[in-house]
Structures are given as structure tokens and as C-alpha cells.
Structure 1
Amino acid sequence: MKALVFTGIRRMELQEVPDPVVEQDGDAIIRVTSAAICGSDLHMYEGRTSAQPGMIFGHEVMGVVEKVGNGVQLVKVGDRVSLPFNVSCGACFNCVRGFVNACLTTNPASPGGGYGYADLGPYRGGQAQLLRVPFADFNCLKLPGTPGDRWEEDFIMLSDVLPTGYHATIMADVIPGSSVAVFGAGPVGYMAAMSAFLRGAAEVYVVDRSEVRLRKVAELGAVPINFTEGDPVEAILKLRSENKAIRESLRPGEEKMAGVLCGIDAVGYQAIGRPDPNQERPVQVIEDLARLVDATGSIGLIGVYFKGDPGGVDQNARQGHFTLPLGALWEKGIKIETGQAPVKRYNALLRDAIVQGQLMPGKFVSHKLRLENGPEAYEKFVQRGTGEGAEYTKIVLKPNG
């Protein structure tokens, strides 16, 4: 089969590799119809993980079942399926409690397995024509329709970015009427803003520097904030203070709640500093949220923070050690939740929301490309909404044409 193979830092090549085979009775083989490039893939692409040449990336995958093992009972050949990026067994102590992101059996090294990702086990990724799916009965989400239909670009988001964005709103305690600030208008930030509105948020601010991405979040009804134009925290505080209805609703003392109740970090450890956009500053977003989120509020850190980063800005960052504004967070009593999303906890219901027209995450897709265009796609997407990559908001590869 053909696959997109990582051959070194910022190098991807289309290669012929051996087809996957059924290794266990519970396996399925799917023919991939769509495989998206994720912002997390860029960490490996840039040499910011332990990823080694020869890896096949790709954890946002959907397709059609082509073969199943003898032990597979619920998944049939010909089924159209979405795959959570979490590879999980469904039976261990963590899986039965809903924490499929920390499965104890699928990764020999640590809790949590995943397709085509550094340190998440031995599983090849789906930026390829075929993919082996372990524990298929548990991991395959059946989809309606046929490949290439009106839901294809929506359904590909079910593997990762849509459930991840939704999980961020759970971590940040978004409920009807909430005020929300999302830092990062990439795919996860966009999905977080969409999910915040789905959960009833009254106001959502989204911070980024890409005008293309900010225009897309504005189409959702969010308020775009470009941090290159000034301090985003001050900009949000100013907008809220100028809202007459908010001011007239406050009783004495309540003006202390000038910020937002819910904060989401959809950027992670490759955040850039201010005022110099060329200076990486891993804790920039966390510091901003510590200033912006009100006392008793909540922060969801869905952006990636690795314990090992070969390209970190200093020795501490390379070991995943960061200096946090713990005093401000503690003083305000702010709750912080971190970690990967347990995709299976949400993907079936989010699928149904798509089918019923309540969510249209595929609108964020900007490019649908053949697998051989993958190397160029990575070159554009790694610019994160700037320069020649400004229009590349979300890329979906079509491995089988």
C-alpha cells in the first residue's frame, strides 16, 4: 500500500509499505477514505517528540471495513467507521471507567495508546491506504451514509478534534450562560468554540493571530481577538466592561468578576510570546488565562504539554518543566484540568449531532488533497495560519483517491 512516511525533521515522503494484516482475532483492517493532518502531527514533524524516521503518522482516520478477525462480532465488512485516536481495549480498569485516553493494555510504555504517534504504542498511523484497528468491536464507531457523501468532512472530525474541543468545554465547566475564552483558533480551538455554543455559552472570545482562522470563528458567533494588536486579556476585559447590560447587572462587589468563568488553552507548549511573535514562550497562554479567568472559574488545558521536548526553549522546557503562576491560580481558586480527550465518551453523540444538523465541523476544512500531496500539505500547515499557510486551516488527505 501507499503511505505517507516521516523520513526526518520536516520531511515526509510517499512510499510503498507492507499492507497491514489481521494480527489478533479482534482486529479489523479498514480502507481509509479520509485521514486528516492534526496540529499534534506537527510536533513530530518539527522534531519536538521522540518520533523516529520510518513512522507513519495519522490518528484522525475514517474508512470502510475491508477485513475482520475471527473474534470480531459487531463490526462487519463494508461498514463505514470512524476511529477514535485513542487505541483502547475497552476492558481495563481505566477503560471501564470511561478513561479510554489512559488505557492500561494497549501501550507497553505508559497509560494510553494511539495511532501513528510517538510514545503511544506500536500502532501505525492512518495517513495510508489501509489501517489495522485492534479491538475493533470497541474502537470502531459505525457511521451512516457512504464514502465521499455530504458528511465525509464532518465525520472525519470525530476521530480527534471535535471530541477534543468538546472535552475542553467539559474540563472548563462550560454551562448555559457561561462566558468563555479560547486561546487558539486552530482546529481544536474552533471545535472548542463550536462546542461551547452547543453547551449554551452566552459569550465566547477566541484569541489567535491568523485573520483567516479568526474569520472562521467569527462565523460561529465568537468574538475574534487578534493578539498582535495588543494584550488579548486587556482587550477582552475592555469589551466586557463596555457592555452596558453586563454593567447594569452587577451588584456592589460583583465588578470583581470582570473576566470570564471558563478558559481553554488550545495552543499548548508551542505558544509564542509577546510582543515578539518569533519568540516561543510555553506558559504564555497559561499566564494569560490566570489573569483573565475569574475567581472560582475553570481552565481546560487541552493543548499539548509533553514531558519530553527535544526542541524546548531551555533545559526545563525540554524536560516538560514549566513555571506556572500558581499563586494567582490558587488565590482565585481556579480549577485546572489537563490531558487527552477520551474520544469514545463523546463520539457517538457528536456523530448524531452532525447527522441531525446541529454541528457542521467540516466547515473548517480548507483543503482535500491526494496522499501524494501530503509533503506539501505539511509544509503549508506547519505555518499555523500564517504566510503561505494562511489558508490551510484543516487538511484532509484522501489516500484512496
Structure 2
Amino acid sequence: MKAVVYQGPRQVSVEEVPDPTIQEPTDAIVRITTTNICGSDLHMYEGRTSVEQGKILGHENMGIVEAVGDAVTRIKVGDRVSVPFNIACGTCRNCVHGWTSFCLRTNPTPGVDGAAYGYANMGPYAGGQAEYLRVPFADVNLLELPPGTEHENDFTMLSDIFPTGWHGTELAGMQPGDRVAIFGAGPVGLMAAHSAMIRGASEVFVVDKEPDRLRLAGKIGATAIDFSQGDPVEQILDATDGRGTDCGVEAVGYQAHDPSGQEHPELVLDNLVKVVRSTGGIGVVGVYMPQDPGAATEEAKQGRVGFEYGTFFTKGQRMGTGQCPVARYNRQLRDLIITGRATPSFIVSHELPLTEAGDGYRHFDQRDDGWTKVLLRSGDAA
């Protein structure tokens, strides 16, 4: 089959690799119809992780079930499915409590709970930027979708970014009527804004500097804040008569930078501490790493990010962090899509055949105007 393979910093190639096979009785093989390039894939693409050369990338996947193991009883050949990026056993302590993003059994990497497809430190699993994908524990992990091709671009957001955006608002403790500040208008930040609007936010501020992303924020009714035009905290405080927001979402991560492009990994955390009111909540779904050899400071290289913790403590704020347990939300979000209440495909800018993945990565990484979300079509879907 064809697959997108990591070769080194800013180098991916589409290669012929062996087809995946059923390895355990609980496995399924999915023929990929749509797979996406995620903003977090760029950390690997840019060489800012320990991902190994030869890794098949891709953790935002959906398709049609081609084969199932003998122990698979719920999922059937021919089912159209969304594949959560979490690989969960379904029976460990964390999975039973709904934290499938921190499964205790699926990742052999020392000190790391939770596994994913095609990602650094998240286990030995191949990704789905390919024609076929092996899915362990298929009955646990696969979400059934209505047959056909309707809502393909919406449903493909269910594997990661739509649930992750929703999770950011959940970690922040958002309630109906809240004002919400979202830093980062990449795909996850825009999904957090979409989620906040669906959940009844009175006002949503989205902070970024890229015009195309800010336009999309405005398109769904959010207030765009361009941090290249001045301190975003001051802009939001001015807009709220000094009150700030009730909660906030960090959708940027450890490569946060100022308008000049200089990295400050603490920057967004500091801004959220300042702009969220006392006793308010902050949800962090932007990626942070235990080690970052390419960081700007020695402490950041060791994963130590010094933010305004004293102010955070004094204001009595709360913070929730970590990868999204997709299965906690994806069924409800699927049904919001089916009924027309949610349309996450509004962020899609480009649909490319799998063979053009290299161009997709390059344009998305360069933040070229208009390249907000790239979908890759595989096989018949191309």
C-alpha cells in the first residue's frame, strides 16, 4: 500500500510499504477514505520530537472496515467508522474511568501512559496517512458512522480535533453564558471556538495573528483578536470593560511565539492567567513535551516551562491538561453533526490525494495563507 513516511526534519515521502494484517483476534483492518494532517504532526515534521525515521504518520483517520479478527463482535466488515487517535484497551483502570487517552496497557514506552497512531513516544503503531490501517481493540476503539459518503469532511474531524477542542472547553469548566478566551486559531483552537459556541458561550475571543484563521473565527461568530496588533490581554480586557473572561483554552503548545517569531513556551499560559478572571478555569490542549532539544532556553529543553504560577495561585484559578479521551465525546459530537448542529468542516481548506501529502505538509507548515486544514484522500476517495 501507499503510506506517508517520515524521513527527517521537513522530509516526508509517499512510499510503498507492506499492507497491515490482523495480528490479534481483537484487531480490525480499516481501508482509509480520509486522513488529515494535524497541527501536532508539524512538531514531528519540523524535527521537534523523537519520532523515528521510517514512521508512518497520521492519527486523524476514518474509513471502511475491510477485515476483523475472530474476537471482534460489535464491528463488522463494511462498517463506515471513525478511528479515535487514542489506542485504548478498554479495560484498564484509566479506560474504565473514561480516560482512554491514558490507557495503561497499549504503550510499551517507559513512563508514558496512552498510545496513538503514527506519533512520537505513543507506541509502535503505524499511522493512517496510508491506504490501510490496523486498529487494535476494534470493538473498543471504532465509532460507527452512517453508511455512504455524507458528512465525510465533518466526520473526519471526529478522530481528534473536534473532540480535542470540546475537551479544551470541558477542562476549562466552561458553562453556558461564559465568556471564553481561546489562544490559537489553528484547527484545534477553531474547534474549541466552535464547541464553545455550541455550548452556549456568551462571547468567544480567539487570539492569533494569521488572517485566514482569524477570518474563520469571525465566520462562526467569535471575536478575532490579532496579537500582532497589540497585547491580546489588553485587547480582551478592553472589550470586556476590564472583567476578562470566565475561562480560557490553550490551543498553541510549546512552540508558542511572539509576533516576531521568537519562541516563548510560557507566553500563552501567562496570557491566560492574566485574562481569565479569579477562580476561572484554563484548559490546556496544546501539546507540551517532557523534552524539547530545539527549545529556546535550557529549561525548556528539559520540558520545564516557567509561567506565572504565583498569579495563577493568587487568583484561585484551575487548570486541566492533557490529550483528549476521544471516546468520551465522539458519539455525541457525531450526532451533533448528523442533526446539523455542528459543522466542523468549515475549517477545511484543501483536499488532496494521498500522493500529494508532501505538498500538503510543506504548505501547512509554512502557514501559507489559506492553508488552514488539509485532508488527504486515499484509494477510491482520492
Is the TM-score greater than 0.5? Answer: yes
| 1:318 maps to which of 301, 310, 319 | 301
Task: Describe the SS at the equivalent of 1:113.
Answer: coil
Tell me how far apart the structure 2 counterparts of residues 303 and 351 of structure 1 sit (CA, whole Å): 23
1:281 equivalent to 2:264? Answer yes
Aligned residues: 378
Identity across matched positions, percent: 52
SS in 2 for 1:3: strand
Matched ranges for 1:115-130 at <5 A? 115-130=117-132
What secondary structure does 1:114 align onto? coil
Task: Please list, as runs of the form range in 1=range in 2, the aligned pairs for 1:96-245 lying within 5 A after superposition.
Answer: 96-109=96-109, 110-146=112-148, 149-241=149-241
**How big is each residue's C-alpha offset from its partner over 1:261-288, in whole Å with a ceiling of 9 and x where there is no partner?**
1111100111002xx5220111110111
Corresponding residue SS for 2:260: coil
Confirm or deny that 1:15 pairs with 2:15: yes
1:347 paired residue number: 330
1:12-50 deviation digits (Å, cap 9, x = unpaired)? 101000000000000000100000000010000011110
Distance, in Å, in 2 between the alignment partners of 1:277 and 1:162 is 30
SS at match of 2:29: strand
Structure 1 unaligned regions, length at least 5: 242-256
Provide the secondary structure at the position in 2 that maps to 1:300.
strand
Once the two structures are TM-superposed, the CA of residue 239 in structure 1 deviates from its matched residue by 1.3
Q: CA deviation at 1:399?
A: 1.8
Matched, 1:24 2:24: yes
CA RMSD in angstroms, aligned pairs only:
0.8
The aligned counterpart of 1:249 is none
Alpha-carbon separation, structure 2, partners of 1:77 and 1:310 = 44
Match of 2:371? 392
In structure 1, how many angstroms separate the alpha carbons of the residues matched to 2:292 and 2:369? 26
Whole-angstrom CA distance in 2 between matches of 1:205 and 1:136: 39
1:300 equivalent in alignment to 2:302: no
- Tell me which moved more, 162-171 or 317-326: 317-326
Q: Deviation at 1:173?
A: 1.0
For 1:319, give the aligned amino acid. Answer: Q
1:377 and 2:346 correspond: no
Q: Which of 249, 255, 271 pairs up with 1:264? A: 249
Distance 2:300 2:53 in 1: 23
- Find the structure with the greater CA-based Rg: 1
- Aligned equivalents of 1:213, 1:178: Cα separation in 2: 23
CA distance in 2, matches of 1:366, 1:390: 10
Show structure 2 runs of 5+ residues with no match.
none
Between 1:42-51 and 1:304-313, the stretch displaced more is 304-313
Return the alpha-carbon distance in structure 2 between the equivalents of residues 175 and 293 of structure 1.
14
The corresponding residue for 2:343 is 360
SS at match of 1:94: helix
Give the Cα separation in 1 of the matches to 2:236 and 2:63.
42
Indicate conservation of the 8 Å contact 2:79/2:147, yes or no.
no
Give 3-state SS (helix, strand or coil) of 2:81's partner.
strand
Give distance in 1, aligned partners of 2:250 and 2:356. Answer: 31
**Structure 1 runs, 4 residues or longer, greater than 6 Å off:** none
Aligned residue identity for 2:377: K
Deviation (angstroms), 1:184: 0.4
| TM-superposition CA deviations, 1:111-155 (whole Å, max 9, x none) | 100000011001100000000000000101000031xx3300000
CA contact (8 A) 1:47 1:310 kept: no
Letter in 2 for 1:262: C
2:6/2:53 contact within 8 Å kept: yes
Amino acid at match of 1:191: M
Counterpart residue identity of residue 220, structure 1? I
79-88 vs 304-313, which deviates more?
Answer: 304-313
How many angstroms apart in 2 are the aligned matches of 1:154 and 1:145? 14
Deviation at 1:374, TM superposition (A): 0.4
TM-score (norm 1): 0.93
Question: 1:52 aligns to what SS in structure 2?
Answer: coil
Asked whether the equivalents of residues 302 and 339 of structure 1 are also in contact (C-alpha less than 8 Å), the reply is yes
Q: Is the 8 A contact 2:285 2:321 kept in 1?
A: yes
* 1:33 corresponds to: 33
Q: State the shift of 1:383 in Å.
A: 2.0
**CA–CA separation in structure 2 for the residues paired with 1:150 and 1:67:** 23
The one-letter amino acid paired with 2:309 is L
SS of 1:57's partner is coil
Cα deviation, 1:41-93, whole Å, max 9, x if unaligned, reads 00000111101110011000000000111111011100000010000010111
Q: Any conservation in 2 of the 1:57–1:127 contact (CA below 8 Å)?
A: yes
Question: Is the 2:187–2:373 contact (alpha carbons within 8 Å) kept by the matching residues of 1?
Answer: yes
Q: Per-residue displacement from partner, 1:229-275 (whole Å, max 9, x unpaired)?
A: 0011101111112xxxxxxxxxxxxxxx71111111100111002xx
Give the Cα–Cα distance (whole angstroms) in 1 for the partners of residues 30 and 376 of structure 2. 15
1:316 Cα deviation from its structure 2 partner = 1.2
Question: Partners of 2:33 and 2:93 in 1: how far apart?
Answer: 33
